[in-house]
Amino acid sequence: MQSTETHVLGRTIKDGPAAIMQSAAEKNRTNRVGCRPGQGPITIGHALEAAAITVRDKPVDESYAAAIEEAEKRATQRNEVPPGGVAEEAQSAAARNKEVTRIEDQTKLSDISLDVSELMPRHKEATPADAEAVMTAERSHNPRMTNYSHGVADMVATAARINQKST
């Protein structure tokens, strides 16, 4: 992640995605949350936190809401969004943002996702299957039919790659 951050941004960022994912891995290792000896997986919730920090000023739109919904379904391992969860908040924000013309008045991704790993009832490790499902949800709700760079799907995919390398 640090090399990607350096390649894309020209440097690593204090409290950036690489630092957050490293911190998440350390936290999981310390708490032994689904971790293997000497390794700690990055959860879907931690990937969402990384996205919120990376694109913190990006208004929530239908594409982000769909990606967050799919991520929460994957994290909870349910086919529906739990009431009062992060996805429900993202959907409401996307609907509100459609009505708000000034970008500075719109709800941003960081407004809803910063503490997401604490809000999710399960600490599920991000997998390639999770990443693909979140990427599909984000892309299918984007008018350009693409994923956002450093967005929700990108961070879940990065977390899955890191987890896969550490197995």
DSSP state, 105? G
What is residue 30's predicted lDDT score, i.e. its pLDDT? Answer: 46
| Average confidence score pLDDT of the chain | 81
Which one is predicted more confidently, 120 or 160? 160
Of the ranges 27-36, 67-76, 88-97, 158-167, which one carries the lowest mean pLDDT score?
27-36
> Model confidence over 12-65: pLDDT tens digits?
666 666 666 666 555 544 443 334 445 678 999 889 888 888 888 899 999 999
What is residue 31's predicted lDDT score, i.e. its pLDDT? Answer: 44
Provide the pLDDT confidence category of residue 114 given band limits of 50, 70 and 90.
Answer: low
Which one is predicted more confidently, 11 or 86? 86
SS3 at position 60: coil
The per-residue b/e assignment along 124-154, b for 16 or more CB within 10 angstroms, e otherwise, is bbbbeebbebbbebbbebbeeeebbebbbbb
Which one is predicted more confidently, 31 or 84? 84
Among residues 31, 2, 123, the alpha carbon closest in space to that of 71 is found at: 123
26 Cβ contact list (under 8 Å, min separation 6): 40
What is residue 39's predicted lDDT score, i.e. its pLDDT? Answer: 61
What is residue 40's predicted lDDT score, i.e. its pLDDT? Answer: 76
pLDDT surpasses 70 at 68:
yes
Among residues 134, 131, 89, the alpha carbon closest in space to that of 109 is found at: 89
Q: What are phi and psi of 111, to 5 degrees?
A: -70, -25
In this structure, which amino acid lies at residue 150?
H
pLDDT surpasses 90 at 120:
no
In this structure, which amino acid lies at residue 162?
I
pLDDT surpasses 90 at 158:
yes
